[in-house]
């Protein structure tokens, strides 16, 4: 995993990333409430992160959200002709709090 973190730190694409804060509005339209202060667990490395700290790449045709610890994909959001497709297969769960 350390290699992967080093890889991500050295990757010039990291400069293109923004934080989970940037998709707070998008996530609110998916979940119906604010979720960036909640915690999620990465399905790849099991690191628990606040959604607002996830690494977001939104310059492509969809939005790709990566784990800040292992750089694996946690969430994907794509607009398709049949609707918004939300893929959360890279996260084990989200803690909704109270």
Among 16, 48, 95, 96, binds another protein (CB under 8 A): 16
Cα 8 to chain centroid distance, Å, stands at 15
By CB atoms closer than 10 A (0-12, 13-18, 19+), residue 43 is middle
Q: Give the containing element (helix H, strand E) for 39.
A: strand 39-42
Binding mask 44-83 for another protein (x = CB under 8 A): ------xxxx------------------------------
Q: Report the distance separating Cα 12 and Cα 77, nearest Å.
A: 23
Shortest reach from residue 24's CB to another protein, in Å:
4
The single residue listed with the structure tokens 């800040």 is: 68
Tell whether residue 34 is a contact of another protein (CB under 8 A): yes
Among 25, 79, 84, 93, binds another protein (CB under 8 A): 25
Choice between 19 and 72, CB closer to another protein? 19
Among 22, 73, 78, 88, binds another protein (CB under 8 A): 22
Shortest reach from residue 68's CB to another protein, in Å:
10
- CA dihedral 30→49→76→65, nearest 10 degrees, is 120
């Amino acid at each position: 995993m350390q290699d992967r973190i080093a890889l991500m730190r050295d990757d010039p694409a990291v400069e293109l990333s923004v934080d989970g804060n940037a998709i707070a509005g998008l996530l609110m339209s998916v979940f119906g409430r604010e979720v960036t202060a909640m915690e999620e667990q990465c399905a790849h490395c099991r690191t628990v992160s606040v959604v607002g700290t996830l690494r977001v790449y939104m310059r492509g045709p969809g939005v790709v959200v990566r784990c800040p610890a292992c750089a694996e994909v946690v969430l994907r959001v794509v607009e398709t002709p049949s609707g918004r497709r939300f893929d959360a297969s890279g996260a084990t769960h989200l803690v909704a709090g109270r």
